[in-house]
Structure 1
Amino acid sequence: MRQKFEKFMQGRYGIDHFSRFLLVGALVCVLLSGLLRASALNYVSWILLIWMYYRMFSKNIRKRCEEERMYMDTKEKVVRFCKGEKSVISDSKTHKIYRCPHCRQKIRVPRGKGKIEITCPSCRSKFIKRT
């Protein structure tokens, strides 16, 4: 039986990170539809499962690799954004973040210093802000 399945899967794309994401999304939708009694989430979970199986059994490997690359790029952007926001939130008690009015560079300055003149490290423009 295993050999038959392996032979069937030869030349097919298989499972990757994006397919796992679709599977987890479908499971979350099923759980939420059970808790919230929302039948629309059942349809969403079925769509996600069908999409996952379509990708898994597809023979168009180039297209699936492109989808995987787009997913990984988007995931990287989201993770990078969340890490940046996490550091801003954790530093919010001790530091304040300003943007340079000329080049839009983020500048972190300590709180509680009163009115100070801030020099942008990238464009060397100066501006005054209250910390």
Structure 2
Amino acid sequence: MKRFLNRNNFLWLFLLVITSCTILSSCNKDELDIQQNYPFEVKVMPVPGDVSNGQTVEIRVTVERSGNFNDAKYFIRYFQYDGQGTLRYYNEPPYMPNDLYQLPATQFRLYYTSQSAVSQSFDIWISDNFGNEKQVSFQFNNKD
């Protein structure tokens, strides 16, 4: 009887060691996959197609993320290639073309003010700190 208990104890101990090794090897810290880089889409509410010189157009923008990472940062830059105008974030000073500005929120409003009597076109690029980038194009015809 004593011999049977020793063999039984040995088998339980052996199973415990095998199970522990399996659990510890499957939880390797170097192999943990924590996702930080989430793609996103840029949604823009409809804007007028015509604008007159001096008129300001509101552009409502939402960055829709496919996941949430607390340290994700979003940036905006723009380039105007036809006509003249200014683009600003709420009441902030106008953006300079091709300069990068951090966005404090994922839902915001931009204000484009026409400074031209001809058609105007510009693009905005919204990017994140992981290298993802989306481009949105705008074109306004002269209203005058």
Normalising by the smaller structure, the TM-score range is: under 0.3
Structure 1 or 2, whichever has the larger Rg, is 2
TM-score with structure 2 length normalisation? 0.25
TM-score normalised by length of structure 1? 0.27
Q: Which one has the bigger helix percentage?
A: 1
**Higher relative contact order at CA 8 Å, sep ≥6: structure 1 or structure 2?**
2
Q: Which has the higher strand share?
A: 2
